[in-house]
Structure 1
């Protein structure tokens, strides 16, 4: 969410930050130089930085909502530039004129740090820019067409075991287990003998069809009921096939197990912080399996915030050291038992996990 308060440092913090910033720029100083006749490097000078927000007017001083900012950077004797864009992203350029689009919705102020280099010599400066980004729907499924889930948006994971979670269900794509009906996606978990498993269910995902980096995700759902059920709305990094898990990162927007009725979990997994992850929060709500609730996250380079019905219940502080700064794809499923789902009620027969819609905003 946006923060309109001005960027401030205490005196001591400012000194420490400037020292760290100097070390950062020295570490990443670029090759290439403008030398004097005796071979010494000429330090850059006269660093000028301007940032113009697209569509800024007297009525809308922070722009037209596109988030686009035009930067112009110049310095005498500079061969390259490094720009920290204030949102966790960095640019390295030889040409100081470029356009960048911020995507975090709302009105946010960014402090831009710029350094101009000539070999090991550099000069630095800062500029602040306040940008308004309108919230735009970039992808959704309203589940309004009866039948199988939209194949242009969803694929299936098929098979047993839960891929390391010791789950008891076999995932299928049969209409008995998954169907769009009456404006709802319905994942039906059944007790039945199927291909060596004692239960069936379904798991769909947008891998290779839709992925995104940062934004707001909203899902309105009514969760499965019964001891052993494990309803989940989650995401994996799009580099799963090359990086593997948990290096690709996992964002569990909502998990609920029937053995702990009405407790909603929001969790993140990454290298060294997976499995019984310390990066987790939870919220006790009412009627998770009998009424619809809106589960959502706000995801940026700075944080990932988890909500139920607009109530914030967990904030994760994001940074470049975590894998949550790349594209992710969406997954919806209901498992049975396993490492998190726990013991299954021997009298369990069937339960349905229903999703009204899923919407992704910039």
Structure 2
């Protein structure tokens, strides 16, 4: 009797193993065929825009993961995508085709992106020495209400002491000095009433100041702010940096439900923020907003009719001291400079 029971058990176990081997291992009992015959083609645009049209195709594949060779990744169900490279160069692009069950096959190809030339909707290369171009930039003057609402310590002026173009760059200079009741002076440049836009690509190449309390920012504000009070007008912070936390870059969106310290943002650590120039960027369209450094996206937010990012915005460049974000001020810091090589907007 014991022998009979053991025999039955062996037969049942064998049958169970056979069923498992005959399926995909996912419990469905179906067989997952791995993808095969992957082909990848790349057509580089002839208009020097940086656009490259990719087509990937494979048998039994349901989606394709692209690594564009510059730190940018994208999942493309169809396998067909056009990617715009921010700079020229040779890139090794890797594509992974996936089956329904997750089996993969990959293939790489090289693309050579020629020198990119763009017609900018707005740009300032800061090549003319003296005060910033008055046709492109105005100034916010004073301390604002309670230090521009952030308890900052600086007084913003329109003096060339605080904002000047020289040797191919704009210098926004923070100075420790007594001025109209404030202990520091600086500048806050704005394109309000000069230039505003809806959707496009923004690139600002800049080198940031160091020193405890310094707070440089490259950001945008909804042009309807006077009649649609913040945060309803929307705010896009492309770059913020704390001198008290060197090399950590913040990218944040502010809008109803995400104002103040509850902003919809992210941060990332880079090297040489205060010693080298980096390109701080925004790609903005009707469906998404992507904040990047040197072409590497570190914050993506979905855009829709439910958020205030579908109307005109203008650009602001400033260097603050202290306040709710800048934090504790090092009394030994007597100044600092936000140095900007260019501002470019492409639509």
Assess, with a 3 A threshold, how the Cα gap between structure 1 residues 172 and 105 changes in structure 2: closer, same or farther.
farther
Q: What corresponds to 1:39 in structure 2?
A: none
Matched, 1:243 2:211: no
Alignment of 1:51-90 (within 5 A): none
* Structure 1 Cα separation of the partners of residues 308 and 272 of structure 2: 34
Equivalent of 1:191 in 163, 166, 176: 176
Alignment of 1:249-268 (within 5 A): 249-268=234-253
Alignment of 1:263-274 (within 5 A): 263-274=248-259
Whether contact under 8 Å (1:162, 1:335) holds in the other structure is no
Please state how far the C-alpha of 1:136 moved relative to its aligned partner: 4.1
Q: What corresponds to 1:325 in structure 2?
A: 310
Q: What corresponds to 1:18 in structure 2?
A: none
Whether contact under 8 Å (1:158, 1:172) holds in the other structure is yes
1:335-359 residue CA offsets vs partner (Å, 9 max, x unmatched): 0000100000011111111000000
1:161-189 residue CA offsets vs partner (Å, 9 max, x unmatched): 43211000000111111100111000010
Displacement over 2 Å in runs of 4+: none
Equivalent of 1:171 in 133, 144, 156: 156
Whether contact under 8 Å (1:267, 1:277) holds in the other structure is no
Assess, with a 3 A threshold, how the Cα gap between structure 1 residues 215 and 105 changes in structure 2: closer, same or farther.
farther
Matched, 1:181 2:166: yes
Q: What corresponds to 2:280 in structure 1?
A: 295
* Structure 1 Cα separation of the partners of residues 191 and 175 of structure 2: 24
Q: What corresponds to 2:129 in structure 1?
A: 146
Q: What corresponds to 1:206 in structure 2?
A: 191
* Structure 2 Cα separation of the partners of residues 199 and 209 of structure 1: 27
Whether contact under 8 Å (1:215, 1:361) holds in the other structure is yes
Equivalent of 1:157 in 140, 156, 164: 140
* Structure 1 Cα separation of the partners of residues 215 and 289 of structure 2: 23
* Structure 2 Cα separation of the partners of residues 166 and 278 of structure 1: 18
Matched, 1:354 2:314: no
Q: What corresponds to 2:120 in structure 1?
A: 137
How many residue pairs align between the two structures? 237
Whether contact under 8 Å (1:105, 1:135) holds in the other structure is no
Q: What corresponds to 2:264 in structure 1?
A: 279
Please state how far the C-alpha of 1:272 moved relative to its aligned partner: 1.9
Unpaired segments ≥5 residues, structure 1: 1-58, 60-64, 66-103, 107-133
Matched, 1:218 2:203: yes
Q: CA RMSD in A?
A: 2.2
1:312-340 residue CA offsets vs partner (Å, 9 max, x unmatched): 11111111100000000000000000010
Equivalent of 1:231 in 212, 216, 219: 216
Task: Look up the SS of the partner of 1:321 in the other structure.
Answer: coil
* Structure 2 Cα separation of the partners of residues 339 and 236 of structure 1: 19
* Structure 2 Cα separation of the partners of residues 237 and 352 of structure 1: 26
Please state how far the C-alpha of 1:260 moved relative to its aligned partner: 1.0
Task: Look up the SS of the partner of 2:132 in the other structure.
Answer: coil
* Structure 2 Cα separation of the partners of residues 329 and 174 of structure 1: 22
Please state how far the C-alpha of 1:277 moved relative to its aligned partner: 2.4
Name the larger-Rg structure: 2
Q: What corresponds to 1:74 in structure 2?
A: none
Give TM-score scaled by structure 1 length. 0.63
* Structure 1 Cα separation of the partners of residues 263 and 139 of structure 2: 30
| Deviating more after overlay: 223-232 vs 159-168 | 159-168
* Structure 2 Cα separation of the partners of residues 332 and 280 of structure 1: 19
Unpaired segments ≥5 residues, structure 2: 1-42, 44-48, 50-81, 85-116
Whether contact under 8 Å (1:105, 1:215) holds in the other structure is no
